[in-house]
Amino acid sequence: DGGITQSPKYLFRKEGQNVTLSCEQNLNHDAMYWYRQDPGQGLRLIYYSQIVNDFQKGDIAEGYSVSREKKESFPLTVTSAQKNPTAFYLCASNRRDSMNTEAFFGQGTRLTVV
């Protein structure tokens, strides 16, 4: 089955640690996205990538980094510079060549700082 896989489902981070969230898709989509979800704030865009080896900052990129070395993979690193990383993180993908196609989402990773 085609889809997006995020791992792990739950992640605990100590203060000062960097952690990496995995996102893999087998939909052959060029575009991939990372969103952060906090209660009452909807989804906010962290980073997005339209093609391999290229990515753009979203609205809340500070304290995060990404890479796009393969079409299928778009990992997100939450660095120690992110002051309030506890949130639900969602990865998504869609076709790059069309405005009218829907995005597909992974099941999310819940990150908690302990």
Q: Are 5 and 25 in contact (CB under 8 A)?
A: yes
Q: Are 4 and 105 in contact (CB under 8 A)?
A: yes
Nearer to another protein, 84 or 98 (CB): 98
Nearer to another protein, 73 or 88 (CB): 88
- Distances from the Cα of 32 to the Cα of 7, 13, 81, angstroms: 16, 24, 23
CB of 23 to another protein, least distance (A): 11
Six-digit token pair at 22?
């995995």
Nearer to another protein, 15 or 53 (CB): 53
CB of 16 to another protein, least distance (A): 27
Using H for helix, E for strand and C for coil, what is the string for 56-70? EECCCCCCEEECCCE
CB of 34 to another protein, least distance (A): 11
Could you list the residues that contact another protein (CB under 8 A)?
4, 6, 31, 33, 35, 40-43, 45, 48, 50, 56, 58, 88, 90, 92, 96, 99-100, 102-108, 110
